Chain A
Amino acid sequence: MNAKRPIVAAIAIGSLIFLYVPSLAVAVFSVNNARYGLTWKGFTWKWHQQLFQNEAILEAALNSLLVAGVSTAIATILGTALALGLDRFPWPRRLSTAMDLLVHLPVVTPDIILAAALVLSFNFLRGFSEIFDLGMGTLILGHITFQISFVTLVVRSRLAALGRDIDEAARDLYATGPYLFFRITLPLLMPGILAGAMLAFTLSLDDFIISFFAHGPDSVTLPIYIYSSIRRGISPEIHALSTLVLMATVILVLIAERFSRFRAAV
C-alpha cells in the first residue's frame, strides 16, 4: 500500500494527540504559578516541592508501593505455579476446561463485580480473623486476586512458546526432577515470569476500582487519594501529584520497553 492516505494519517495523528491532551493539560498546570483558577501566571516548581512535605501524600505513595510490591510477589509465585500446573500436567479435558474458566474469570469480569465479590468475602471472613477488616491486608488480598490471572496468562504463553522439545532433549540427556526444573525450565521461563510480575506490579499501582472498594481509612493509595481530592475540587497540589504519577508511568513503560527489547535481543 504505497498510496498516501491523508485521511488515515490525520485520524491517526489526531487520535494520538487526543490521547495526550488530558495528560499534557495536567502537566502544564502543575507548573503554573496560580493558587486558584486555570490562567497562566508563570512557571514554578513550588507545587511539586510541596508534595514532599505533605504527609498524607507521602503515606499514600508508600501504601501504593507497599501494596504493589507485596501483592506482586505473592501473585507471581501463585500465578507461576498455576501456569506450570495447568500447562505441564495431563489433566482430563473437562477438568482443564473448568480450571481455565476459573483462571480467566478475573480477566473478563467487570472490575466492579470483582470488587463487590471481594467486599462480600471480606465481610464474611471478618468473623474468623481481623486480617479481613478493610485495610492494607484486604487491599493486598484484593490485588492478588486479579493479579494471579494475569501472571498465569503471561507465564502460560511463555510455557506454550517453549514447547516440549527442550524438556524432551533434557530428559534424553538424563536430566531429571529438581535439576530439570531449576536448571532448565525455570531459567527459560524467567523472562515470562518477570514480564508477568511487571504486569502485575503495574496493574496494582494503576488499580482504582478494586482499591476503592477494598481500602480502609488507614490504607489510602495514590489513585484513591487523587480521586477523593478531586471530589473536593481541583488544586495545584493535585496537578503536581498527577504529573508525578504520569512521570512514573512513563518511566515504568520505558523500563518495560528496554526490558522487552533486551529479551528480544537475547
Chain B
Amino acid sequence: MTPGQNQPPEKQTPAHGGPPLMKPSPGEEPGPGLVTWYGGIHRQRDLRLKGSALLGPGLAWLLIFLAIPCSGLVILSFARRGDFGDIHWIWNLDNYKRLLGYGLFGWTPDHLIILGRSLLVGLVSTLICILLAYPLTFYIATRPPKTRNWLLLLLVVPFWTNVVVRTYGWLLVLSPQLPPARIAAFFGFIETGAPLFPGSFATYLGLVSTFLPFMALPLYSSLERLDWELLEAARDLYASRWQVFTQAILPQTRPGLTVGVIVTFIPAMAMFVVTDLLGGARYMLIGNLIQNQFSTSRDWPFGAALCLALMALTMIGLMLYRRWGDPRDKNEKSGGAAP
C-alpha cells in the first residue's frame, strides 16, 4: 500500500513548491546529502546528529543497566561459586548440570520438577485467566456506556493493587477462622483448624486474582472494537455458540489476547511473592529458586543459569501459544472471518 492512496492529491504538492512531502525517505533525496523529513529539508548529517543526541542517554542507560548485565548473566552462568559466595571465573557447566539434577549425591529431579511446575503453573493460570476474562470483558463490553466505565474502573483498581497487599489479603481470607477454610474442613478437604494455604490451591487463587486484570484489560480493548454485526451474521448462518466464538470473536480479539497472554504468562511463571506466601516451601517455582540464589544462598552463578532457564521456559510457553493458541493460522486457512 502506498501512502498516497488515501490522501487527497493536492496535499502532495505543498504551497512553497518544494519537493513532494509524501513519504520522504533517504532514497528520494532532494539534493546531495539532503532529505525532506516532516515537511522540512534537512541535511542528513544534522538529522542523524540530533537524533543521536536524543537517543544517546536513554540507549546508553538501557545498555549499561540492562543489555550488558543480561549478557553478563549468560557469562556468569558458566562460572563457579566460591566458598563465601564470591564468584570464581572458572569456566564450567556445573550450574547447568545442577539444573538438570546432577549434584554431589547423584541425580535428583528436584530442579527439573521446579522447572516443569513453573511452566505448568504459568500455563494453567494463563488459561484460567483467559477462561474468566472472556465472559468478564464480554459482559462489560455489552453494558450501557455509563455502567461500562464504572465496571472498567473496577477492573483497573485491582490491576494497580500491589501484589504483596493482595496476596496478604488471601492469607487472611484463607486463614482457619474464616468461612472458606471452615467449609473446606467441614467437607474434609483439610483438617479442622488448618488454613487453606500453603498449597497449589492457594497459589492458583493468588496468581489468577493477580493476573486476571492483566488479561482482561488488553482483551477488553480488543473486544471494545468488536464488529458485532459479524456475530449476528454468524448466528443468522446457524453457527453454534462455540462456532461464533471461534470464528467471529476469537479472530477479532486476537491482538488483545496476545498482549494479555504475554503480560500474564511471563510474570506468572517468574512470580515469587505469591508462591512464597501462599505456596509454601513445598510449592516452589523457579522465581523462588532464583530469589534464593541471589539472597540467602548467595550462589549467583547458579542463579544466572536459572535466569537463562526461565528465559527458555518463557520462549517455550510463547511458542506453544503461537502453535496452538494463535487463531490467525486457522483464520487464514478458512478464508478469514475478520475483514
A226 touching B136 by the CB < 8 A rule?
A: no
Which stretch of B152-160, B186-194, B250-258, B327-335 is in the interface? B152-160
**Residue A191, interface by CB 8 Å:** no
**Residue B66, interface by CB 8 Å:** yes
Instruction: Find chain A residues with CB under 8 A from B300 CB.
Output: 120
**Residue A164, interface by CB 8 Å:** yes
B165 touching A88 by the CB < 8 A rule?
A: no
B296 CB, min distance to chain A CBs, angstroms: 13
B54 touching A114 by the CB < 8 A rule?
A: no
Instruction: Find chain B residues with CB under 8 A from A118 CB.
Output: 65, 69
CB closest residue in chain B, given A26: B169
B171 touching A230 by the CB < 8 A rule?
A: yes
Given the complex of chains A and B, what is the CA–CA distance between A169 and B55 in angstroms? 26
Given the known interface contacts A121-B64, A171-B39, the answer about A89 and B50 at a Cβ–Cβ threshold of 8 Å is yes
**Residue B138, interface by CB 8 Å:** yes
**Residue A223, interface by CB 8 Å:** yes
**Residue A23, interface by CB 8 Å:** yes
CB closest residue in chain B, given A145: B65
B310 touching A152 by the CB < 8 A rule?
A: no
Given the complex of chains A and B, what is the CA–CA distance between A1 and B172 in angstroms? 40
A30 CB, min distance to chain B CBs, angstroms: 10
Instruction: Find chain B residues with CB under 8 A from A11 CB.
Output: 132, 135-136, 139
Given the known interface contacts A15-B132, A91-B51, the answer about A116 and B73 at a Cβ–Cβ threshold of 8 Å is yes
B158 touching A148 by the CB < 8 A rule?
A: no
A12 touching B140 by the CB < 8 A rule?
A: yes
**Residue B63, interface by CB 8 Å:** yes
Instruction: Find chain B residues with CB under 8 A from A81 CB.
Output: 54-55, 57-58
CB closest residue in chain B, given A148: B58
B151 touching A16 by the CB < 8 A rule?
A: yes
Given the complex of chains A and B, what is the CA–CA distance between A230 and B175 in angstroms? 13
Instruction: Find chain A residues with CB under 8 A from B273 CB.
Output: 208-209, 227
Given the complex of chains A and B, what is the CA–CA distance between A149 and B139 in angstroms? 32
* Interface magnitude class on chain B: 35 or more
A148 touching B62 by the CB < 8 A rule?
A: yes
Given the known interface contacts A16-B151, A18-B209, A108-B266, the answer about A152 and B172 at a Cβ–Cβ threshold of 8 Å is no
Given the complex of chains A and B, what is the CA–CA distance between A108 and B266 in angstroms? 7
**Residue B120, interface by CB 8 Å:** no
Name A85's contact: one of B55, B166, B167 (CB within 8 Å): B55
Instruction: Find chain B residues with CB under 8 A from A142 CB.
Output: 65
B118 CB, min distance to chain A CBs, angstroms: 11
A171 touching B40 by the CB < 8 A rule?
A: yes
The proximity string for A residues 21-34 relative to B, scoring 1 for CB distances below 8 Å and 0 otherwise, is: 11111100100000
Instruction: Find chain B residues with CB under 8 A from A18 CB.
Output: 209, 212
A38 touching B287 by the CB < 8 A rule?
A: no
* Cβ < 8 Å to A, chain B residues 64-98: 64-70, 72-73, 76
**Residue B38, interface by CB 8 Å:** yes
Name B16's contact: one of A15, A82, A117, A172 (CB within 8 Å): A172
**Residue A102, interface by CB 8 Å:** yes
A37 CB, min distance to chain B CBs, angstroms: 6
B58 touching A22 by the CB < 8 A rule?
A: no
A-B CB contact pairs (8 Å), 15 listed: A1-B231, A13-B139, A16-B151, A18-B209, A19-B213, A26-B168, A85-B55, A99-B55, A120-B72, A120-B304, A168-B38, A231-B277, A234-B168, A253-B153, A253-B157
Residue positions of B touching A, CB distance < 8 A: 14-16, 21, 24-26, 35, 37-40, 44, 47-48, 50-55, 57-59, 61-70, 72-73, 76, 132-133, 135-136, 138-140, 142, 151, 153-158, 160-173, 175, 177-178, 209, 212-213, 228, 231-232, 262, 266-267, 269-270, 272-273, 277, 287, 290-291, 294, 300, 303-304, 307, 310-311, 314
Known: A22-B168, A169-B39, A172-B15; 10 extra A-B contacts, CB below 8 A, are: A18-B209, A21-B169, A26-B168, A79-B58, A92-B26, A111-B267, A112-B272, A144-B61, A238-B168, A249-B161
Chain A to chain B: the 6 pairs with minimum beta-carbon distance, closest first: A22-B169, A168-B39, A85-B54, A89-B51, A12-B139, A171-B39
